[in-house]
Amino acid sequence: MGSPVYIQIHNEIKKAIEAGKWSVGDRIPSERELAVQFHVSRMTLRQAIQTLVEEGILERFVGSGTFVANQKVQEKMSGVTGFTDLMLAQGKKPSSKTISYHVMSPSLSESEKLELKDDTQVLRMERVRYGDDVPISFEVATIPLEIVDGLSKQEVSESLYRTLETKKGLVPGHAKQMVSASSASERIAEFLDIKRGDAILRLRQISYLQDGRPFEYVRTQYVGERFEFVLEK
């Protein structure tokens, strides 16, 4: 395998816990013991443990040892879904109007967030999203071309998340979102049928596949008065 040793050990320990070798509250062997078992130095073994601690899977106590932590509800978080499911869950009819749809070279910011190689092309599309025919948001989605390879414009535009799962078996893993408030520009206001300067909920989202690869970067501007973001933590 090509990945660093400490990642490999990380995975092996994780699998062992999932397989039931150690249960919640159990003490796992000491760092020195594990280092011998895995034929690595203690520092390298510690690095593997470190990442597991950061994931909340293990806990360390000086003098006592390293224990399997009781798992939080973290992964129970509402799954990563797209606009379509979001609207349907609210009993609203989802629809959208595609404003633009182009294959192009990514901006520096996009390239960075999607972790792209230099020569990679992306699909960028601007859409206005509606719930029960009332404009809810304006969004700019950027997707690496390879992800949507072989899919029709219709499939990509209508419901990317559903299409990726059914056609390619690609399931989103997690997403990172940044939320802030702003005010609408002239152009956006027109699309959303509001006045320039009206309150806008700005959301930038990077969605990752289960293997950790980013596959979509979306900048969304929601109409402040028509949208509310609910989350539990």
Partner DNA sequence: ATTATATACTGGTATAGACCATGTTGCAAG
Partner DNA sequence: CTTGCAACATGGTCTATACCAGTATATAAT
Phi-psi region of 133 (alpha: psi -120 to 50; beta: other; left: phi over 0): left
CA neighbor of 148 nearest in space, from 137, 158, 135: 158
Edge-to-edge strand ranges of the sheet holding 27-28? 27-28, 65-68, 58-61
11 binds DNA (CB under 7 A): no
Q: Which does 31 bind (CB under 5 to 8 A by kind): DNA, a copy of itself, none?
A: DNA
Q: How far apart are CA 131 and CA 152, in angstroms?
A: 24
145 binds DNA (CB under 7 A): no
Smallest gap from Cβ 141 to a copy of itself, in A, equals 18
Site string for a copy of itself, 34-73 (x = CB under 8 A): ---------------------------------------x
Q: Which does 200 bind (CB under 5 to 8 A by kind): DNA, a copy of itself, none?
A: a copy of itself
- SS3 call for 201: strand
Name which of residues 84 to 113 contact a copy of itself (CB under 8 A).
Answer: none
Q: Which does 141 bind (CB under 5 to 8 A by kind): a copy of itself, DNA, none?
A: none
Q: Across-strand partners of 66? A: 28, 60
Q: How far apart are CA 147 and CA 149, in angstroms?
A: 6
CB of 42 within 8 A of CB of 35?
A: yes
* Residue of 16, 43, 77, 88 that binds DNA (CB under 7 A): 43
Name which of residues 190 to 209 contact a copy of itself (CB under 8 A).
Answer: 197-202
Q: DSSP assignment, residue 227? A: -
* Piece of the chain touching DNA by CB under 7 A; list 42-50, 68-76, 91-99, 173-181: 42-50
Q: How far apart are CA 193 and CA 95, in angstroms?
A: 16
* Residue of 18, 19, 23, 64 that binds DNA (CB under 7 A): 64
Q: Across-strand partners of 204? A: 178, 219
Residue ranges that bind DNA, judged by CB under 7 A: 4-7, 28-33, 39-44, 46-47, 60-66
